[in-house]
Amino acid sequence: MKEKVVLAYSGGLDTTAIIPWLKETYDYDVICCCVDVGQESELEGLDERAKYSGAEKLYICDVVDELCDEYIMPTVQANAVYEHKYLLGTSFARPLIAKKLVEIARQEGAVAICHGATGKGNDQLRFELSIKALAPDIKVIATWRQPEWTMQSREDEIDFCKAHGIDLPFDASHSYSRDRNLWHISHEGLELESPSNAPNYDDLLVLTTTPQNAPDEGEDVEIDFEAGMPVAVNGKRMKTSDVIRELNRLGGKHGIGIIDIVENRVVGMKSRGVYETPGGTILMEAHQQLEEICLDRETLAYKKILAVKFADLVYEGKWFTPLREALTAFVDSTQQTVTGKAKMKLYKGNIIKQGTFSPYSLYSESLASFTTGDLYDHHDASGFITLFGLPMKVRAMMKQNVEKKEK
Is there a catalytic annotation at residue 49?
Answer: no
Is there a catalytic annotation at residue 380?
Answer: no
Catalytic residue among 94, 126, 180, 245: 94
Helices (H), 316-389: 322-334, 365-368, 380-388
Read off φ and ψ for residue 343, nearest 5 degrees.
Answer: -115, 135
Distance of alpha carbon 26 from alpha carbon 362, whole angstroms: 63
CA 73 from chain centre, in angstroms, equals 10
Is there a catalytic annotation at residue 94?
Answer: yes
Is there a catalytic annotation at residue 123?
Answer: yes
User: If 0-12 CB within 10 Å is exposed, 13-18 middle and 19+ buried, where does residue 52 land?
Assistant: middle
Q: CA-CA distances (angstroms) from residue 167 to 26, 124, 162, 226?
A: 23, 28, 5, 51
Catalytic residue among 10, 53, 91, 123: 123
DSSP string across 204-228: H-SS---GGGS-SS-EEEEEEEETT
Q: Which amino acid is located at 227 in the chain?
A: A
Q: What is the dihedral of CA 51, 55, 56, 57, to 10 degrees?
A: -70
Give the catalytic positions in this structure.
Answer: 14, 94, 123, 177
